[in-house]
């Protein structure tokens, strides 16, 4: 099978531009490449035979950056740590939702984030990030990267974020060393927002020596409901384990951006060995066919669930983007930056950890598990589970209280999910 970019499934019919959901079943692949198979085969192979020694030499020259690509030339297949047809087709398909030029798929969301960090940060650099972050990212940034000489500075997600980020960059010794601005929006688990366009502007305006890369972890809303690259971000990052994979049966990550930046990420991916495998790639290709169906259904269910929780006497507070009202300081940003409120709801049970645990232990349909974005609803306790790495003294400042429960809403019938939450709240 030789994939030729020019011969892909067309992206439009005459003047009519095809939408991503229509291209998810076949873009980047043609049945005639593989015996007419309507679906792309799984290329479960570690290595690829060269047709000649000259071809092998030419492929390696590109892979190791020994010469520039000739016009229209793409990297040939060498070895599955560098590239594999299932991954390449998946990467092409993933670019469509975010209208990115290129993508790199990694073994996990953390592998994607670590690969990006090792691509764009060097000893002496500052990493400026929003907080809270996903627990694993927080650990990588605050515990691991400092061991490589990287200084980490943070600012809060939510209404105070813009001013705090600006303030951090008003210190010239920080501004001159920023190698990357990394934000997670909506923030996990609070749904607090960070203004992507403002961060992109700060990167241009405040960092005089070089423009830092602006990377956005878009796991919570994307790729359907938020498109960071349109707001000036350089990279959109996903834990594909979540909505993109969508069935709680695989671990993967992805980075999207310009050809130029993704080429750098791919080089790091090759040498850190963080490329995903063909089987996972194939599973995600299958997942992408129903991405819009799943995310739309989950988003609709989440609204019913959030409305139910907001009216419940044993619930003190609901963090749900669909409940932001015009008088909320984040409302304008939400309307500008997000397409829909997504399927993540966090709420405070009346009481504290004991009450939250009683609720979680009483669930019958909704599973008590970390992770999110799958077809089944999942509930967890951020303070002692996903975000337990954040010192207890720092958690409340980020909105992570002992009473907080996070729920990822699945595709079940919403009345069944609500019935389960109702009986579990009765146990509180
Ligand atoms: C899960 C998650 C990650 C990490 O992804 P893995 O696939 O588990 O490595 C990063 N960011 C966010 C927001 C997540 O929810």
Tens of pLDDT, residue by residue over 6-29, are: 566 788 899 999 999 999 999 999
Residue 378 within a domain: yes
Question: Which residues, 6+ apart, have CB-to-CB distance to 355 below 8 Å?
Answer: 314, 349, 403, 428
Q: Report how far ligand 1's centroid is from the alpha carbon of 31 (Å).
A: 34
Q: Is residue 5 one of the residues assigned to a domain?
A: no
| Residue 303 covered by a domain | yes
Do 368 and 419 lie in one domain? The reply is yes
pLDDT at position 2, please? 60
Say how many Å lie between the CA of residue 65 and the centre of ligand 1. 31
| Contact criterion met (CB below 8 Å) for 208 and 228 | no
* Protein residues with CB under 6 Å of any ligand 1 atom: 108-110, 134, 136-137, 184, 188, 217, 219-220, 239, 241-242, 251, 253
Q: Which letter, b or e, does each residue of 345-357 get, where b requires 16 or more Cβ atoms within 10 Å of its Cβ?
A: bbbbbbbeeebbb
Residue ranges for the chain with pLDDT beneath 50: none
pLDDT value, residue 236: 98
Q: How far is ligand 1, taken at its centre, from the CA of residue 356, in Å?
A: 23
Nearest Cα residue to atom 11 of ligand 1 = 134
275 with 301, same domain?
A: no
One domain for residues 166 and 240: yes
User: Does residue 10 fall inside a structural domain?
Assistant: no
Residues 147 and 222 in one domain: yes
Please state the φ and ψ torsions of residue 79, each to the nearest 5 degrees: -165, 140
- Predicted local confidence at residue 6, as pLDDT: 54
113 C-alpha to center of ligand 1: Å?
9
Is 29 among the domain residues? Answer: no
Protein residue closest via CA to atom 12 of ligand 1 = 134
Question: Residue 180: which H helix or E strand, with range?
Answer: strand 178-184
61 within domain boundaries? no
User: How far is Cα of residue 339 from the mean position of the Cα atoms in its chain?
Assistant: 16
> What is the residue range of 207's domain?
85-288
Residues 145 and 276 in one domain: yes
Check whether residue 180 and residue 310 sit in a common domain: no
> What is the domain count for the chain?
2
Atom 4 of ligand 1, nearest CA residue: 109
**Probe residue for ligand 1, chosen from 192, 225, 239, 246 as the CB with the greatest number of ligand atoms within 8 Å:** 239
284 and 303 together in one domain:
no
Of 253, 288, 323, the residue at which a domain comes to its end is: 288
- Beginning with the edge strand found earlier in the chain, give each strand of the sheet holding 151-156 in spatial order: 102-106, 253-257, 235-239, 213-217, 178-184, 126-131, 151-156
Boundary-marking domain end, from 288, 312, 330: 288
Would you say residue 73 lies in a domain? no
Last residue within a domain, chosen from 288, 316, 331: 288
> What CATH number is given to the structural domain containing 156?
3.40.640.10
Is the CB of residue 182 less than 8 Å from the CB of residue 217? Answer: yes
**Is residue 56 packed enough to be buried (19+ CB in 10 Å), middle (13-18) or exposed (0-12)?**
middle
CA distance 202 to 199: 5
Domain at 359, CATH number = 3.90.1150.10
Mapped onto helix, strand or coil, the DSSP state of residue 302 is helix
Residues 242 and 351 in one domain: no
Question: Do 417 and 298 have their domain in common?
Answer: yes
My answer on whether 346 and 402 are in the same domain is: yes
Number of residues written out for the chain:
428
Torsion of CA 206, 209, 211, 214, to 10 degrees: -70
Angle at 285 between CA 281 and CA 287, to 5 degrees: 115
Say how many C-beta atoms besides its own lie within 10 A of residue 412's C-beta.
Answer: 18
Q: Is residue 308 part of a domain?
A: yes
Cα–ligand 1 centroid distance for 110 (angstroms): 6
Helix runs in 328-410, H state only: 331-337, 353-362
- Kindly state whether residues 318 and 205 are assigned to the same domain: no
**For a pocket test of ligand 1, which of 136, 137, 287, 407 has the largest count of ligand atoms closer than 8 A to its C-beta?**
136
Question: Can you tell me the distance from the alpha carbon of 270 to that of 95, in angstroms, rounded to the nearest whole number?
Answer: 20
Please tell me whether residues 266 and 322 are part of one structural domain: no
Residue to substitute in 107, 108, 110 for testing ligand 1 pocket (most ligand atoms within 8 angstroms of CB): 110
């Amino acid at each position: 099978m030789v994939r030729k970019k020019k011969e892909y499934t067309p992206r439009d019919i005459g003047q009519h531009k095809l939408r991503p959901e229509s291209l998810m079943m076949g873009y980047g692949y043609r049945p005639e490449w593989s015996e007419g198979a309507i679906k792309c085969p799984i290329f479960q192979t570690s290595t690829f035979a060269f047709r000649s020694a000259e071809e092998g030499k030419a492929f390696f020259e590109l892979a190791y950056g020994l010469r520039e690509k000739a016009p229209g030339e793409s990297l040939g297949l060498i070895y599955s740590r560098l590239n594999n047809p299932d991954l390449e087709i998946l990467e092409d398909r993933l670019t469509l939702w975010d209208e990115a030029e290129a993508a790199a798929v990694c073994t996990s969301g953390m592998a994607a984030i670590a690969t990006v960090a090792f691509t764009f940060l060097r000893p002496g650099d500052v990493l400026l990030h929003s907080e809270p972050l996903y627990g694993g990212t927080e650990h990588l940034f605050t515990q691991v990267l400092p061991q490589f000489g990287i200084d980490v500075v943070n600012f809060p997600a939510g209404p105070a974020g813009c001013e705090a980020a600006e303030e951090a960059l008003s210190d010239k010794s920080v501004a001159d060393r920023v190698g990357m601005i990394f934000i997670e929006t909506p923030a996990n688990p609070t749904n607090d927002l960070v203004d992507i366009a403002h961060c992109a502007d700060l990167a241009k305006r405040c960092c005089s020596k070089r423009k830092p890369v602006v990377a956005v972890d878009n796991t919570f809303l994307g790729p359907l409901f938020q498109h960071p690259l349109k707001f000036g971000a350089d990279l959109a990052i996903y834990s594909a384990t979540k909505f993109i994979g969508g069935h709680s049966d695989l671990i993967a990550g992805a980075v999207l951006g310009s050809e130029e930046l993704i080429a750098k990420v791919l080089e790091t991916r090759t040498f850190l060995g963080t490329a995903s495998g063909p089987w996972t790639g194939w599973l995600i290709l299958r997942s992408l066919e129903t991405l819009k169906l799943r995310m739309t259904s989950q988003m609709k269910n989440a609204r019913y669930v959030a409305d139910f929780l907001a009216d419940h006497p044993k619930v003190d507070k609901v963090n749900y983007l669909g409940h932001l009202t015009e008088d909320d300081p984040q409302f304008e940003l939400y309307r500008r930056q997000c397409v829909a409120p997504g399927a993540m709801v966090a709420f405070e049970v009346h009481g504290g950890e004991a009450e939250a645990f009683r609720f979680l232990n009483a669930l019958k349909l909704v599973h008590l598990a970390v992770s999110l974005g799958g077809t089944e609803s999942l509930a967890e306790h951020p303070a002692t589970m996903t975000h337990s790495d954040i010192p207890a003294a720092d958690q409340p400042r980020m909105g992570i209280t002992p009473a907080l429960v996070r729920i990822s809403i699945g595709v079940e019938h919403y009345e069944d999910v609500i019935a389960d939450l109702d009986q579990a709240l009765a146990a509180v």
